[in-house]
Structure 1
Amino acid sequence: MQKIRTLQANIEVLREKLNKLIEDKDFKLSNREIISLSQELDVLLDDYVKFKNSKFIF
């Protein structure tokens, strides 16, 4: 249960950072920093989904 909570917390922190960065960059979604941070968030979300799905296998 701790792993899922950690993933959720990390996702939320990164999501907030991404939203702030998007505002700071005037909503230019092609900005390299935005793309990079978005990709990091994608990895965390993918890990979260894999972890949640693995719990239903048993």
Structure 2
Amino acid sequence: MTWTFTHDLAAYLAAAGPAVAGEPVANTKLLTVTDALERRGPDAYGSAKPFFG
């Protein structure tokens, strides 16, 4: 599988969400960060656009 990069959280979650959610203990930080971005918006952690891979 090749890597794909995006600034689009919805596209990232559509592609990687099931795999990430399948291992919640190993991916706790990633799940927490993406949840905060969904709830608080893309500037939840500052003005730079989030970049997902």
- TM-score interval (norm. to shorter): 0.3 to 0.5
Higher relative contact order (CA 8 A, sep 6+): 2
**Greater CA radius of gyration, 1 or 2?**
1
**TM-score scaled by length of structure 1:** 0.36
Structure with bigger helix share is: 1
